[in-house]
Structure 1
Amino acid sequence: MDSTPHGAAVTATGFGVKGPRGWAFRNIDITAGPGSLIAVQGPSGSGRTCLLLALTGRMKSAAGTAEVGGLPLPKKRAAVRSVTALAHVPGVAELDPALTVGEHLRERALLQGRFGGSLRALLRPRHERRAGARALVDTALAAAGLDPEALPKGIRTSVRDLERLEALRLSVALALIGGPRLLAVDDTDLKLSGDERAAAWALLRGLAAAGTTVLAVCSEPPEDGEGVVQVHTGGRPERTTPKDTSGDSPATTDATDATATTDTTNPTATAGAADEQDGDEAAKATKAGKDSKRGKQDGPDDEEGAADALAEAGRA
């Protein structure tokens, strides 16, 4: 019998992603075992979303090494994508406000049945396939703590009518339908009240305790940091900004390391990264690089838009 844990171990050494004119993040070190809860903390523009996309194989790294479930990055990016899932990532994996909860669930179950299973599963009788899809959806909803019957219009409730925490739970449920070994959640605590924030972290802790490794981007880690692997992006190291005349070298110099902490009974992680300004420069550089191909001017400094552009470049 296979005794391999369901969750994927995550390791990284000197890990970094670079845009056309600077670093999104760099010098990230992580050690987390299967079933860990990894909290990626940092200010907006510090490369948090880029780190999430890089560790799930959606963005190509430029420095250092990393492994997810024993699969090396960036060499095995496709394999890493197959064992990871994204939830709540703006522009990459987000809910359609015009669709209902039921439509989202049916669409995700259909995609899982068509592309996520084996050929033998596709040949099963139709009623068996439907029963299997219902079981996947029910299990995912239960794990995410979302009861469709408790919503204003039940399963016919539109996404635009969901509360912020309900939308987070739905996004997590959709990601869980594929049975990922690593679940990556962006903007975990964005616009949540204190009670909602506590409920969100309780949800993610429960998923990790059940065996799925969880990577969560946040502005602040959970108040009770016991058992949480904390990774910090950003920081304010001393640096210089030489003029980039060659076009081949990054616009910033190496940053000093920042330290990440975790409970001593669990894996530890240390991370160093470029400061917030470095992340902003990398985000703007990526957006400018994309727009220049279309003959446009540089776009606004928007972290989410830059992350989307980098993700598209990584999948190309």
Structure 2
Amino acid sequence: MSDRETHTQSEEPADNTRQIHAVPTSAATDATAPPSQAETDDAYVLVADGLSVVGEEGPVFGPIDLRVPDNTLVFLSGRGGSGRTALALTLAGRMKPTDGTLTVFGHDQLKDIRDTVAIAGVDAIDALDRD
């Protein structure tokens, strides 16, 4: 199994990886299906390739490959300490990834992503300005 494959919640992977589910808001879209050859990254509002964060005490999450189509709700779950908050902050441009690439609404610079994405309910997070 490659280090980028994901696991379901019922499995106990040694590296604490977890599956991320994208739930389409339209029945016509299957966000969990692998993209066809005709689809490109332009079809997605969020594209992450090999995205990871490593902290002072070791890996926080990743590497993660993720594609989120437009009009999609993403549900992120996992145990405490599994990296959910760090992943959300990274996807919103508030935390710099250690490795990988991130494009959100066509932007690949953290400042541009921060200017485009809001995190509801946590005013202090929007004040973060790290690159």
TM-score when scaled to structure 2?
0.59
Matching of residues 231-270 of structure 1 within 5 Å: none
**Shift of residue 47 of structure 1?**
0.7
Tell me, in whole angstroms, the C-alpha distance in 1 between the residues paired with 2:123 and 2:46.
23
User: What SS does the corresponding residue of 1:52 show, helix, strand or coil?
Assistant: helix
CA distance, structure 2, for counterparts of residue 83 and residue 64 of structure 1: 20
Does residue 1:36 correspond to 2:69, yes or no? no
2:125 partner SS: coil
Q: Displacement, 1:88?
A: 2.4
Deviation (angstroms), 1:92: 2.5
What is the alpha-carbon distance in structure 2 between the residues aligned to residue 70 and residue 50 of structure 1?
21
Q: Identity, % of aligned pairs?
A: 36
Summarize deviations over 1:163-213 as a string: whole Å, max 9, x none: xxxxxxxxxxxxxxxxxxxxxxxxxxxxxxxxxxxxxxxxxxxxxxxxxxx
Which residue matches 1:55?
91
Q: 2-side partners of 1:58 and 1:68: how far apart?
A: 13
CA 1:84 to 1:90, structure 2 compared with 1: closer, same or farther past 3 Å? closer
Provide the aligned length of Structure 1 versus Structure 2: 88
Distance in 1 (alpha carbons) for counterparts of 2:130 and 2:50: 22
What's 1:109 paired with? Answer: none
Q: After TM superposition, what 4+ stretches of structure 1 lie above 3 angstroms from structure 2?
A: none
Long gaps (5+) in structure 2 = 1-43
- Residue 82 of structure 2: SS of its match in structure 1? coil
Taking the aligned partners of 2:119 and 2:101, their CA distance within structure 1 comes to 21
Give the partner amino acid of 1:18.
V
Q: Partner of 1:87: helix, strand, or coil?
A: coil
- Whole-Å separation in 1 of the counterparts to 2:67 and 2:86: 18
CA RMSD in angstroms comes to 2.2
Gaps in structure 1 of 5+ consecutive residues: 1-7, 94-310
**How far apart are residue 90 of structure 1 and its match?**
8.0
- 1:19 corresponds to: 55
Which of the pair has the greater relative contact order for Cα pairs under 8 Å at 6+ separation? 1
Residue pairs, 1:1-316, within 5 angstroms? 9-72=45-108, 76-89=109-122, 92=125, 315=130
Name which one, 1 or 2, has greater alpha-carbon Rg.
Answer: 1
Offset at 1:22?
0.9
**What secondary structure sits across from 2:90 in the alignment?**
helix
Report the TM-score when normalising by structure 1.
Answer: 0.26
Deviation digits for residues 68-127 of structure 1 (CA, Å, limit 9, x no counterpart): 01112xxx111111111011248526xxxxxxxxxxxxxxxxxxxxxxxxxxxxxxxxxx
Distance 1:50-1:90 versus aligned 2 partners, 3 A rule: farther
Q: 1:90 to 1:41 in 2, by over 3 A?
A: farther
CA distance in 1, matches of 2:84, 2:123: 13
Quote the Cα distance in structure 1 between the aligned partners of 2:59 and 2:123. 21
